[in-house]
Amino acid sequence: MTPSASARRAMRKSLAKANLYNMDIALPELKALIAKQFGLTPKHIFVGVGSTEILNAAAFIYGKNGGEILTSDPTFESIHVYGKTIGASLKKVPLRDDFEMDIPALRRAMSRKTKLIYVCNPNNPTGNITPDRKLRSFCEEATKKALAFVDEAYHEYVRDRRYKSLIDMVKAGKNVLVSRTASKIHGLAGMRIGFGIAKPEIVSELEPYMTAMSLNNIVGLRAALASYQDTDHQVFCLRKNNEARKVVTDLLDEMGRQYAPSETNFIFFHTGKPIEQFQAEMQKRGVRVGRPFPPYLDWCRLSLVKPEQMSLFVRAFREVMA
Ligand SMILES: Cc1ncc(COP(=O)(O)O)c(C=O)c1O
């Protein structure tokens, strides 16, 4: 989705102040807004260059000197990529056949060396949720020994009632760090604004690693400030995303193709063809699809676009699968 009209207006206006360093109060204003929306205080919030920076900082702090990071697999890979760079010990637990996190296996995989547990809910690349009932009890238990990093990048898209944000665990003072981002439903990926939400002790530990050192990009801050107040635009984007998803699920149902229940702005489905071949065939027809996600090498992650643009995918998919 594109940025809201209000975010675009705010960005245009902020350009006139692009010559200034820290002469703007946008960062405290944004922290205060996010804190208020989540029922927390500004001390619970820090802002990164996208939520990727929050992920990288956590990977660095907890993964350095061979610290153990536990994740599901496949999941969003930033933490693996960055963790590998700094020599973290990465432990991956395969998802269940229905794509939910395998909570008993994650429990068993925890060791005395585990410093960080990364859970992505809804998960990327599969798009499904793991129900609150299961995830929460695991996090309650795990956070007695390690930090739980809960990546809620797709929170705003979720319709499944079995899902719940774990921000209330932050409120309760648990060892939980939740990340959110302006990149998804707010359509501001290029502006690079993401949030870390945790108890103040954890914020104090991680915030000094943010490369902007409170001098964040003013255009991005102003865009996020406008967008997070524009609930109409969020409702509109959610409706459009649901429409686009329905175009794809109707087609997959019609063609008898299996897919994971998507609660995000992408969908993960079975093609039965090697993904590289599928990618090339779709690309020839003007549609770029996601990369391989082992071990699901004949599955595809498709990002949703505007409902009216999904017809290009429908046509290409019918031809490729014919
Ligand atoms: C689950 C998840 N977390 C985090 C990110 C990073 O987003 P950003 O750095 O733009 O906030 C993404 C981006 O695709 C994602 O899918």
> What residues flank ligand 1, with Cβ below 6 Å?
50-52, 76, 120, 124, 151, 153, 181, 183, 189, 194
Residue-by-residue DSSP string for 162-218 = T---SHHHHHTT-SEEEEEESSSTT--GGG-EEEEE--HHHHHHHGGG-TTTT---H
- Alpha carbon of 48 to ligand 1 centroid (Å): 12
Atom of ligand 1 minimally distant from the CA of 182: 11
Computed over every residue of the chain, the mean pLDDT equals: 96
Mean pLDDT, range 25-43, rounded to an integer: 96
Contacts of 309 (CB under 8 A, 6+ apart): 244
Asked if the 5-227 domain carries CATH number 3.40.640.10, the reply is yes
- With bands split at pLDDT 50, 70 and 90, how would you rate the model's confidence at 51? very high
Confidence check: pLDDT of 35 > 80: yes
pLDDT tens for each residue of 258-315:
999 999 999 999 999 999 999 999 999 999 999 999 999 999 999 999 999 999 999 9
Return the ligand 1 atom nearest residue 189 CA.
10
Q: Ligand 1 mean position to 178 CA, how many Å?
A: 13
Which pairs count as long-range contacts for 158-162, CB under 8 Å and 24+ apart, including other chains?
A: 158/122, 158/129, 158/263, 159/242, 159/263, 160/129, 160/131, 160/261, 160/263, 162/129, 162/131, 162/132, 162/133
Atom number of ligand 1 nearest to Cα 76? 1
- Which CATH fold topology does 231-321 show? Aspartate Aminotransferase, domain 1 (3.90.1150)
Segment 74-110, tens digit of pLDDT: 999 999 999 999 999 999 999 999 999 999 999 999 9
pLDDT of residue 19: 86
Break the chain into its structural domains and give their ranges.
Answer: 5-227, 231-321
Q: What is the pLDDT of residues 128-137, one digit of tens each?
A: 999 999 999 9
